[in-house]
Amino acid sequence: MTTTERFRWVRTKLRRLFRRGQQEAAMDAEMQFHFDQLVAEFRASGLSEAAAHRAALREFGTTDAYREEMRDTWRWPALADLWRDLRFAARSLLRTPGFALLAILTLGLGVGVNTAMFSVVNGVALKPLPYRDADQVDRIYRRTSAEPTGALSVPDYREFRAAASSIYSEIAGFSFGDVSLADEGQPAQFASGMRVSAEFFQLLGLPPVQGRAFQLDETQRGNDAVVILSNRLWQNNFGSRPDILGQQIRIDGRAHTVVGVMPATFNEWRHWGWVDLFRPLAFSTAAESAREQPTVGVIARRAPDIDAATANAFVSNFGERLARDYPELHAESAFYTRTLPDTVTGFDTKITLSMLLGLSGFVVLIACSNLANFLLARTMARSREHAVRAALGASRAQLLRPLLAESLLLALAGSALAVVCAIGASDWLRVRSTGDNGEQVIFALDWSVLGWALLCSLLTAIAFGLAPSLFTLRLDLNNALKSGGRGTTGSRRQNRLRHLLIVGQFALAMVLLTGSAVFVSALSDLNERREGWDSERLVTGTFLLPEARYDTPDAITAFQDRALERLRALPGVNQAAFSTHPPFFSWSETRRFIVDRQERPAPGREPAAVVNVTTPDYLATVQTPLLSGRDFALTDRADSTPVMLINADLAQVLFGNADPLGQRLAFVADGSPQWIEVVGVVGNVRNSEAEAASIPHQVYLPMAQRPAAYHEIAVRTASGNPDAMVPAIRSIFTELDPDLPIRDLKSADQRIARFNYQVGVLRDMLTAFATLGTALAAIGIFGVITRTMAQRRHEFGVRLALGAQVSDITRLVLGSGVRLALTGAIIGLVGGVGLSKLLAIGFPNMDLARPAVMAFTALGLIGIALLACYLPARRASRIDPVESLRAE
Amino acid sequence: MEKVRKELLQGTLDLLILKALSTGQLHGWDISKRIAVVSKDRLSLKQGSLYPALHRLEGRGWVEAEWGVSEAGRSAKFYRLTTAGRSQLEEEISHWESFAQAMTSVLNMEAAS
């Protein structure tokens, strides 16, 4: 057949399948025509009308038989049989609704959850970045122990640009900064901003969808009042107005002209985070010469013939040159590159994702082995029926077809449930992982992933449905028939297979449960690890004083004083303060410094500390203990002696047992040192970084001596419910300045939870997997024990009739189940220990050796197994011997 | 007119239909007439059984059908061979010929040999 003919053939078949009525009518017309011709011929040969009719009937034959024959040719016999098989299967499944429900549930949950999981992994790690040849783009890092952000100073950036032109065809810089958006008649709003150099979008190969990228002359200070909007901001704030280009919007109190709108694909949390708007990277005169201030992130596109290793060697070389030229700054700097995709899915992400994938794989394995077990048990229960049918001459295909139909039916129902589960799970993940500003870590359910998952579930059901059947069909016909009506419990070999499946399930569930429990408990410890401050009854938030209106230090200080006064006067507020870095969250500003009257260390090897700038009363507000000396006072003003507080660790390192009070420190800078007097020592504060094992050296400076636009609010309330105070606090700021955007005003605990939402998602997913796996394993053992028990009903009846005690029967049933569960659990425990050892490699900062947690979960799982066996055991003990024997 | 009825050999009906159609498109009545005429009424088929066979052949893609108007002015379904049908016909003819030769050889064998 040619292709056209084959196509026509299929079309004919389909038409015959679906247009039966039309077909029949056409056939009748065709035969009627023939019949009429016959009658006419007989009439022509001289017969009467009636006689001709009779003769024609005789000649033509009975139409019914032909019609039936023709219908046969229309039908798709296999399809018709399949339909019959499916109906039969549905009826037979409905006779055992418990089994059907368990199997469908198992399949649906297993596949559904996995689909959601794969969607996440796909969205997070596997989906390529939306840039042109992202593999050719490097991120340039400069890191020191004191400076973890990897940014370059402006002079270093300039030097790099000049030096690297042979390696990199394009080089671009960027930096981040939050801004306030305030337009006439609109409430002021915080927005996350990014400054990018003119080459930035071009380098990534992702230009604005509307308008244009920045021009080189726009990266000059004073010429930089232009802005490119993210798609999200354009939609949310400007209702996707088509005439947005050329409009003015106010950023930090200054009018900016909109010159472009970015495509939605750019706003990828995976890479730059959620950026609302982009401005040109224009440097102040001060920044141009400040080699000690790393502010510029750098990306660069490698020339076509340069590979990643060559580029990395070049960059590292460049760093060594800088270290020779500026030893006081770069002696400890490490310069290196990472390809852009690598910066997104770092080692942490990869190991976390592969762990989640592995665990979800466990869930599927448990689900599949459950299904296999159910189907195996079912096939075995039917072995007698099969034997009889085989003896009566049924072919193997005929025996297998109804089984196949059942598997298919289960798979279809399971798939339907899986779709529901997958949608539900990804919705849950989405809600769970949506940040305050609407940013989402997890994207929508991936339908192509779902398609694959469904295909897999279908194959799983068919494979696991047929494999046990093929296996049992090999059983000895004679044996099955001989065992008579007593019902077979299956051969020893089949029982061994089923027991193996149960043991395997419990082993997997145990690994899943103990691994997750250990990880979750270590995670929450990491999360709870708070030292040197108290988050209870604390309300926090952030605001940014627009430069245009608060352009002098005095204006800033005046606003602070007014705001704090009003806040403290608020009923229900105990203390209030501002700082630049709230506790718990990472501190970003690290400075090196020297000590008065001490020998100066080699340049670049000075001690470093993170800097927090605070108002007086900050310590009392967040409850960081003051160990000696005094807190900042209102008298510490711009014109008074510069003062600072240092934390206990730093005091110990710098001064040992000597009294730190009255000592003077100065930050490393060009020119003569500006000495700052230590007036107090405070307790160590532990923050959220993964490296939180080491507490950084911390110094505090008074805000009045270093006024800046950025403020973190801290308000300690009197009542136990800090969230109730949020509206009152917000209204104070609104009254003071209606155009001031306040962000994240909420209780510290809520904010921390939000900050840790990725950790939270991870924890919830692990918990979900462990629960699901355990539940599936419990369902599995429950199903198998119940079925075994039903098959041994007769035997139990005999035992009871012969005088066995009810407790003997219970013990018999319970014993067999518990033995299996225990064997599995012990194997699983070994696996769980292995998993936690493996995780310890991936998460070196987490304390994953938790024998108590492990023992507890192991006991829990065994308890669940006991319960799952106990229910059928109790039913077994209620067997009425007389009735069960009579039932034969 | 007494007809000599002979049961058709199994499978020859398809061959007859295909052969009849090889001369051009025909409707069912024509096919049965054509076979009767050419075989000088020696091959006669139960006329009703023609239609299931036609549908079967159509299902296999050997013939295709189209409604048209007969010479008598009535609407009738016309059948014609497809390319696949033509090669099927050739195949069946060569089958038949080799079968007939074999039969002839057997029937012609000498008693003594």
Model confidence pLDDT, tens digit, residues B18-32? 988 988 888 888 888
Measured between alpha carbons, how far is A94 from A352 in angstroms, rounded to an integer? 42
Residues of B in contact with A6 (CB under 8 A): 61
Whether residue B95 lies inside any domain: the answer is: yes
Say yes or no to pLDDT of A125 above 70: no
Nearest chain A residue to B82 by CA: give it. A5
Question: What's the pLDDT tens digit per position in A751-802?
Answer: 777 666 666 777 777 888 888 888 888 888 787 777 777 777 777 778 888 8
Number of domains, chain B? 1
CA dihedral A674, A678, A683, A688 (to 10 degrees): 0
User: What confidence score (pLDDT) does residue A359 get?
Assistant: 79
Candidates B48, B64, B76; nearest CB to A66 = B48
A63 lies within 8 A of chain B by CB: yes
DSSP A149: T
Cβ contact, residue pair A6, B61, below 8 Å: yes
B19 lies within 8 A of chain A by CB: no
User: What confidence score (pLDDT) does residue A444 get?
Assistant: 57
Distance from CA of A48 to the nearest CA of B (A): 16
Measured between alpha carbons, how far is A728 from A335 in angstroms, rounded to an integer? 49
Cβ contact, residue pair B61, A8, below 8 Å: yes
A1 lies within 8 A of chain B by CB: yes
Whether residue B77 lies inside any domain: the answer is: yes
Say yes or no to pLDDT of A669 above 50: yes
Say yes or no to pLDDT of A294 above 60: yes
Q: Which helix (H) or strand (E) holds A612?
A: strand A608-614
| Residue A375, burial from CB neighbour count under 10 angstroms (0-12, 13-18, 19+) | buried
Distance from CA of A82 to the nearest CA of B (A): 20
Residues of B in contact with A69 (CB under 8 A): 49, 52
User: What confidence score (pLDDT) does residue A486 get?
Assistant: 45
Residues of B in contact with A31 (CB under 8 A): 28, 48, 51
Say yes or no to pLDDT of A322 above 60: yes
For A219, half-sphere exposure in the C-beta direction (CA atoms, 13 angstrom radius) is: 19
Candidates B1, B29, B52; nearest CB to A34 = B29
Nearest chain A residue to B60 by CA: give it. A9
Which two three-digit tokens encode residue A321?
A: 């040159």
DSSP A549: T
Which two three-digit tokens encode residue A695?
A: 């507490």
Question: Reduced to 3 states, what is the DSSP secondary structure of residue A619?
Answer: helix
For A145, half-sphere exposure in the C-beta direction (CA atoms, 13 angstrom radius) is: 13
Distances (CA, A) of A316 to A139, A313, A370, A603, A807: 13, 5, 55, 20, 76
Which two three-digit tokens encode residue A207?
A: 């230009």
Which two three-digit tokens encode residue B57?
A: 């052949």
Candidates B51, B72, B82; nearest CB to A30 = B51
Whether residue B6 lies inside any domain: the answer is: no
Distance from CA of B58 to the nearest CA of A (A): 8
Q: Which of A464, A462, A498, A501 is nearest to A381 (CA)?
A: A498
B70 lies within 8 A of chain A by CB: yes
Say yes or no to pLDDT of A430 above 90: no
Say yes or no to pLDDT of A704 above 80: yes
Mean pLDDT of A16-41: 78
Mean pLDDT of A692-705: 77
Say yes or no to pLDDT of A257 above 90: yes
Whether residue B59 lies inside any domain: the answer is: yes
Candidates B46, B48, B64; nearest CB to A31 = B48
Whether residue B4 lies inside any domain: the answer is: no
Average pLDDT, chain A: 80
In total, chain A counts a number of residues equal to 888
Whether residue B1 lies inside any domain: the answer is: no
Q: Give the DSSP per-residue string, A763-799.
A: HHHHHHHHHHHHHHHHHHHHHHHHHHHHHTHHHHHHH
Task: Say how many Å lie between the first and final Cα of chain B, rounded.
Answer: 44
| Residue A62, burial from CB neighbour count under 10 angstroms (0-12, 13-18, 19+) | exposed
Name residue, tokens 């043991």: A503
Measured between alpha carbons, how far is A612 from A577 in angstroms, rounded to an integer? 13
Cβ contact, residue pair B55, A13, below 8 Å: no
A254-273 residues touching B, CB cutoff 8 A:
none
Count CB neighbours of A641 within 10 A: 13
A65 lies within 8 A of chain B by CB: yes
Which two three-digit tokens encode residue A597?
A: 């009257």
Cβ contact, residue pair B1, A45, below 8 Å: yes
Residues B10-36 as b/e (b if ≥16 CB within 10 A, e otherwise) read eeebbbbbbbbbeeeebbbbbbbebbb
CB-based contact A496:A818 (threshold 8 Å): no
Backbone dihedral angles phi then psi of residue A501, each to the nearest 5 degrees: -60, -45
B52 lies within 8 A of chain A by CB: yes
User: What confidence score (pLDDT) does residue A184 get?
Assistant: 66
User: What confidence score (pLDDT) does residue A690 get?
Assistant: 46
* CB contact set of A10 (below 8 Å; sequence gap of 6+): none
Residues of B in contact with A38 (CB under 8 A): 29, 47
Cβ contact, residue pair B59, A45, below 8 Å: no
Nearest chain B residue to A40 by CA: give it. B72
A37 lies within 8 A of chain B by CB: yes
Nearest chain A residue to B75 by CA: give it. A33
Measured between alpha carbons, how far is A756 from A763 in angstroms, rounded to an integer? 10
Q: Using DSSP bridges, classify how beta strands A608-614 and A698-702 pair: parallel, antiparallel or unpaired.
A: parallel
Which two three-digit tokens encode residue A579?
A: 């700082």
Measured between alpha carbons, how far is A449 from A123 in angstroms, rounded to an integer? 11
DSSP A135: G
Measured between alpha carbons, how far is B52 from B31 in angstroms, rounded to an integer? 14
Distance from CA of A51 to the nearest CA of B (A): 15
pLDDT tier at A18 (50, 70, 90 boundaries)?
Answer: low
pLDDT tier at A86 (50, 70, 90 boundaries)?
Answer: confident
Region of A667 please: left (phi>0), alpha (psi -120 to 50) or beta: beta
Measured between alpha carbons, how far is A699 from A181 in angstroms, rounded to an integer? 32
User: What confidence score (pLDDT) does residue A620 get?
Assistant: 92
User: What confidence score (pLDDT) does residue A17 get?
Assistant: 58
DSSP A638: T
* CB contact set of A744 (below 8 Å; sequence gap of 6+): A436, A540, A541, A542, A751, A754
Distance from CA of B112 to the nearest CA of A (A): 46
Residues of A in contact with B74 (CB under 8 A): 33, 36
CB-based contact A283:A252 (threshold 8 Å): no
Does residue A539 or residue A589 have the better pLDDT? A539
Domain at B73, CATH number: 1.10.10.10
Residues of A in contact with B52 (CB under 8 A): 66, 69-70, 72-73
Q: Using DSSP bridges, classify how beta strands A573-579 and A742-747 pair: parallel, antiparallel or unpaired.
A: unpaired
Say yes or no to pLDDT of A442 above 70: no
Whether residue B93 lies inside any domain: the answer is: yes
Which two three-digit tokens encode residue A637?
A: 């003003």
Pick from B29, B34, B81 the residue to mutate for testing the A interface (most A CBs within 10 Å): B29
Mean pLDDT of A572-594: 81
Does residue A156 or residue A393 have the better pLDDT? A156
Cβ contact, residue pair B76, A9, below 8 Å: no
Q: Which of A201, A802, A185, A117 is nearest to A453 (CA)?
A: A117
CB-based contact A773:A363 (threshold 8 Å): yes
* CB contact set of A532 (below 8 Å; sequence gap of 6+): A583, A624, A625, A647, A682, A683, A684, A685, A686
Say yes or no to pLDDT of A176 above 70: yes
CB-based contact A432:A764 (threshold 8 Å): yes
Name residue, tokens 């705001």: A563
Mean pLDDT of B56-74: 83
Measured between alpha carbons, how far is A235 from A377 in angstroms, rounded to an integer? 58
Nearest chain A residue to B77 by CA: give it. A30
User: What confidence score (pLDDT) does residue A473 get?
Assistant: 57
CB-based contact A266:A134 (threshold 8 Å): no
Mean pLDDT of A653-674: 85
Amino acid at A573: V
Residues of A in contact with B51 (CB under 8 A): 27, 30-31, 34, 66, 70
CB-based contact A353:A125 (threshold 8 Å): yes
Q: Which helix (H) or strand (E) holds A814?
A: helix A806-842
Q: Which helix (H) or strand (E) holds B38?
A: helix B28-38
Say yes or no to pLDDT of A644 above 90: yes
Q: Using DSSP bridges, classify how beta strands A277-280 and A226-229 pair: parallel, antiparallel or unpaired.
A: antiparallel
User: What confidence score (pLDDT) does residue A549 get?
Assistant: 80
User: What confidence score (pLDDT) does residue A331 get?
Assistant: 77
CB-based contact A781:A506 (threshold 8 Å): yes
User: What confidence score (pLDDT) does residue A693 get?
Assistant: 43
Q: Which of A614, A670, A607, A686 is nearest to A644 (CA)?
A: A614
CB-based contact A138:A299 (threshold 8 Å): yes
User: What confidence score (pLDDT) does residue A313 get?
Assistant: 94
Least confident of A67-81, A176-190, A800-814, B63-77: A67-81
Does residue A343 or residue A195 have the better pLDDT? A195
Name residue, tokens 């700082």: A579
B77 lies within 8 A of chain A by CB: yes
Say yes or no to pLDDT of A262 above 50: yes
Note down the domain range covering B33.
12-106
Angle at CA of residue A383, ends A380 and A388, nearest 5°: 170
User: What confidence score (pLDDT) does residue A590 get?
Assistant: 76
Question: What's the pLDDT tens digit per position in A525-561?
Answer: 766 666 788 888 899 988 888 777 888 888 999 999 9
A69 lies within 8 A of chain B by CB: yes
Cβ contact, residue pair B77, A30, below 8 Å: yes
Which two three-digit tokens encode residue A343?
A: 């910066």
Residues of B in contact with A30 (CB under 8 A): 27-28, 51, 76-77
Which two three-digit tokens encode residue A86?
A: 């499916």
Distance from CA of A55 to the nearest CA of B (A): 12
Question: What's the pLDDT tens digit per position in A104-121?
Answer: 888 888 888 777 777 777
Distances (CA, A) of A479 to A399, A432, A466: 18, 57, 22
DSSP B80: E
Say yes or no to pLDDT of A565 above 90: yes
Which two three-digit tokens encode residue A330?
A: 């770069």
Whether residue B70 lies inside any domain: the answer is: yes
Q: Which helix (H) or strand (E) holds A176?
A: strand A168-181
A38 lies within 8 A of chain B by CB: yes
User: What confidence score (pLDDT) does residue A226 get?
Assistant: 95
